[in-house]
A and B are shown apart, each in its own frame.
Chain A
Amino acid sequence: MAHYAELTIAPTTWGRFRAWPVGQLFATSYGATVAVLLTVAYVCSRLGWLPVDPNAMDLAAMNQTPDAAHLLGTDFVGRDLLSRIMLGTQAFFLPGLLAIGVSLVFGAIFGVLVGFWPERFATPVGVLLQLLESLPKLVLILLVIALFRPDIYIILLVVGITNIPAAAELLRSKIAVLKRKSYIEAALALGVPTWRVIGKHVLWLHGRGLVLIQATIGMGEAILIETSLSYLGFGVQEPVPSWGNMVGLGKDYFFQGDLWISTAPALAILFTILGFHLMGDALLERLEARNSA
């Protein structure tokens, strides 16, 4: 029967993508667009391909709203806001990837340990993770900043460490489900080494989606922490732009009615974090709801 044959053909990648609900599709494509734009902005700023020199002051064109010469307007000393926002991606891009990497690697180690051997590792690892969770991230980071005056890489390394519990918990709950599946049991019973079962069936075949989800959530978090710290004056310092310190510096003009200087970088934060939140939630629903059912 034609219908039967059709059903057995594995859907193409595009076909599977089209089967997504519209909301999830929109959220994921918007988030992916944000990620691509961020990468482009970062690479351009590294290569020096900025529309205007971000540190060039133009006292004849201060506090301007967007126009042809300055696509996103200028700040209180006439510096081009678009160039500064693009340059501002440097404050969190690589450090954010570092934070994601740290939380993923250690989250995977702890998650596998607790997931596969709960009777042996659940208590020690649980205590360690609870210890990390019992302090607000910002307080811990301010403590480290005051003690060591580290640069932004070390600060986001600490952010990555504080994200380990979330990553570990995500993987642990996944493994708790997987461990009861008969193919895992069969593989172990047939004598497949445990490390291969972990590496292939758990981390590669079922953990790939989690990496994407955790990376998405982690980047949003990294941007949030970096901008908050730079706003508070502990992260990236003027004249080096960060989206956080740009909002903070526009404060006095904001209250006088020149809303744009603070609002442009704030909108950059809004659209970026919104993209990562939407994509993370959509992927979580898409990849996890299906597997745990």
Chain B
Amino acid sequence: MAVPGGIKDRRAVRRERPAASPGRRVARALVRETARTAALLVGVTLAMFLLLARAPGNPAAMYVNVTDLTAEELAAVNHELGLDRSLPVRYVVWVGRMVRGDLGHSLRSGRPVTRELWQTGWRTLLLTGSAMLLTLAFGALTAYLQATRRHPTIAGALGTFAYVISALPVFWLGYLVIYIFTTRLGVFPLMSSGEAATHWGFFLLPVLVLGLGNGTLSEITRHLRAHLEGVLQEDYIRTARAKGAPLLRHLYKDGFVMPLSSVLANKLPYVLGGAIVVEQVFNWAGMGRLVWQAAADRDYPILMGVTLASALIVRAGHAVKEAAQVAANPQLAE
């Protein structure tokens, strides 16, 4: 056994190295996540490419309207796009185009896919991000009340609410909210009218529906509660309580930052998927509507673009998780 500070054990010496500053740890974690994302995107694009190659129809349709072309013109287009070459070469060319920002043109509107994505993506990000925050806030509050057992009635009611609303289909929940707020109360204008687009209810209701009704609320609450109950039994929490220190200041890192960031990264795909349905219910002109329309029209370029964009959003969630966890816990930094 190495005596710390005595015999030169390399592992012991390494452990004594002072921890890097939080800023540097986060920067390193982000670099690591970016590299991982790049590696995963290679896999995602490869899978997409193979799916597309197996799909019926001509891939040249990604870039030109193939129906008005003669056979020779089609051959020329195929040659120019490299479609007459082998699959690995075509994959490299395809990825090369993507890296330069050329995702092709929408078959429906004829506009570049990147422009369509920019126009709709921010709305979806806004909806998904706000809904995710609402989910996390509700889950954290309920779990905290349940774990500390201070207000059992409120905690029980919130827990039951979480179970019921997680099992409700989100589209019906959307109908109910629209019905109550527009038809019944008349607080908001009907969602399809032009005036609604600028009304703040147009933003609030979808976020409320997606945030509470995305189906992950009960699972998140249960997970956070189990985690919090574990942390609350730790010795340092008991010490903090004994000396009368504010509990949350000692609890927030291990009790909230760590599990909430994990949940954010793991559940973001679900909320993003739920956004497709909620955008449909509320006529919200985001990426979900775009991909819905594209799936109905077989608009391959748009579908590829949305797939890529959603993979990026999911990976961004993981980057946020890594950064938050490394900032909260120096032991996780390599």
Contacts and interface: CB of A to CB of B under 8 A. Distances in A.
Given A131-B43, A145-B295, A146-B300, A274 B55 contact: no
B171 A278 contact: no
B303 interface: yes
B295 A234 contact: yes
A199 interface: no
A134 B272 contact: no
Binding site secondary structure of chain B: helix
A231 B175 CA distance: 13
A64 B171 CA distance: 22
Contacts of A134: 40, 44, 269, 311, 314-315
Interface in A103-158: 127, 130-131, 133-140, 142-148
Interface stretch (B91-99, B162-170, B199-207): B162-170
A226 to B, nearest CB: 11
A195 B269 CA distance: 36
Given A131-B47, A146-B298, A139 B183 contact: no
Interface stretch (B9-17, B64-72, B247-255, B273-281): B273-281
A273 B52 contact: no
A277 B172 contact: no
Nearest to B128: A136
B234 to A, nearest CB: 17
Contacts of A233: 296
Interface stretch (A67-75, A170-178, A202-210, A255-263): A255-263
A168 B43 CA distance: 20
Contacts of B295: 142-143, 145-146, 234
Nearest to B57: A147
Nearest to B218: A277
B273 A136 contact: yes
Interface residues of B, number: 52
A143 B178 contact: no
Contacts of A243: 169
A248 interface: yes
Contacts of A254: 175, 179
Interface of B: 39-40, 43-44, 47-48, 51-52, 54-56, 163-164, 166-172, 175, 178-179, 182-183, 215, 218-219, 222, 269-270, 272-274, 276-277, 280, 291-292, 294-296, 298-300, 303, 306-307, 310-311, 314-315
Given A146-B303, A270-B164, 10 more contacts: A131-B43, A136-B273, A137-B273, A139-B272, A142-B291, A146-B299, A244-B171, A257-B183, A269-B167, A269-B169
